[in-house]
Chain A
């Protein structure tokens, strides 16, 4: 098969194939190049090596069962994908998560965003030779994942943000863990900026390389840090506020030149803003304590009691029944028919069990009204949008993901033409291509 590049190439130039498994490019993508000496004359990008059939698979799952697949879209910040999907479905169903759940979503979402940016900067710097930055950033990410893991039970693929709320309350001791993660991240950010900001090698490879104008960026449909690096302050959290982002104080850092360095810098500065949001969310969460827990009944005694009669006092059954305390479930899960029942109800009452089956058995699932919705959140790479079509059955008729990466990578060809071969690596790193999201 002749590719476009092959047919357009001059006879005397050299064709070079980067990828689909190039070591300096995290992710599977193939860049075909026509080069003249060290310069790229023409480029063609081939994607789709990680096409896992996300959208088609979702059409065969119920609204609730497809949540784990959303984890694996932008797998560096799974919580933000969960959130995007949950918000879109909530819009379709007309439910809203309780206040505490919204705050928890903000808190964990921002942690997730930091993890995303840390990984991006780590990979980008490593590919330019700054291995120290990689080690530092992954270290900070480890502290963030400690918080996420203790609350959600998984380090990466969490499936924690559910339709109508979140799965469980924050873990005991989250406050100290979060404070630790914030402190460690601050320290790492300071170190990394000290290492890179004025580093001549890093600057040579990023400053004024792969510049994109705001108009071109908009024309390609860029969003997120990459768009903001060109000076356009578009952030879904501000432009179309969701959750309680209105009540938080944060800035939207922008760049000026739209080059590799600006994309790096915007990410670094955004992490600082995310840390601010986390601190605010933590203090707000402190102000709204969960419903008072019952004086603790030991699990064995509680099971005994719930067998003999209907327990009126809130029962403390976790952690072995995996879930939040019953008393807090109304704080973190919306009431009404659209939100899945909390696990404690499922295990301790027949009504709860029936409702559970109604949700999770195929062909018995909850049926949303007919219609279509689009819900978007600010993900790690930009606007993560879910377009859902419901035909009134328990499975979606169509799920479409508006992946920010797809639009960003679309511009890659244009960006690298005219650059040196070695410039492709930091350019590609700064765009933060994530296969799961790009190819779905």
Chain B
């Protein structure tokens, strides 16, 4: 990468990490903690992720909050496919990470079996501080990653 390109890469990373529009895929209990994290006390907005978009087509960040069951799996996949690149995924809570305490016939054992995941936030439900920590981790990742932009598609 030339010097100019790498400078542009990091500027783009900086811009992207502080303007995350997120789409909460809230299914279960963890959603209550998601509400707390997004509201006044903990305030995701401080980290540039305050703008909740309730349409996957306008969002960069998919936060999968709560248990995903087998019945809901196709829905999750559809939502993921509807998002435009670049996109990131956070698995929020033990259920989204691994199925959590529900090791049975009905529950998907971790969303990473069906969609790629960038950051895992453990805990059932995770405390809002953990969520903020996960968000900061994601921002670090975005800053460091090889950005793709219009005239330079990422080599994959």
Contacts and interface: CB of A to CB of B under 8 A. Distances in A.
Contacts of B11: none
Contacts of A72: 28-29, 101
B67 interface: yes
B69 A21 contact: no
Nearest to B35: A138
A156 B33 contact: yes
A122 B35 CA distance: 10
A194 B40 CA distance: 20
Nearest to A115: B32
A155 B127 contact: yes
B55 A76 contact: no
Nearest to A143: B41
A139 B40 contact: yes
Given A49-B27, A52-B102, A138-B35, A21 B75 contact: yes
B107 A49 contact: no
B39 interface: yes
Interface residues of A, number: 35
A224 to B, nearest CB: 19
Given A135-B39, A139-B41, A76 B32 contact: yes
Judged by DSSP, the binding face of B is: loop
Nearest to A149: B127
B29 A436 contact: yes
A369 interface: no
B71 interface: yes
Interface string B106-123: 110000000000000000
A23 B31 CA distance: 13
Interface in B3-59: 25-29, 31-33, 35-36, 39-41, 54-55
By CB atoms of chain A within 10 A, which of B29, B104, B106 has the most? Answer: B29
Interface in A1-48: 20-21, 23-24, 26-28, 48
B78 to A, nearest CB: 9
A156 B104 contact: no
A315 B12 CA distance: 60
A206 B36 CA distance: 26
Contacts of B39: 134-135, 138-139, 142
18 contacts: A21-B25, A21-B79, A28-B72, A49-B71, A49-B72, A52-B102, A52-B106, A53-B107, A69-B101, A72-B28, A72-B101, A76-B32, A135-B39, A138-B35, A138-B36, A138-B40, A155-B127, A157-B29
Closest 6 CB pairs of A and B: A23-B54, A75-B29, A138-B39, A53-B104, A53-B106, A142-B41
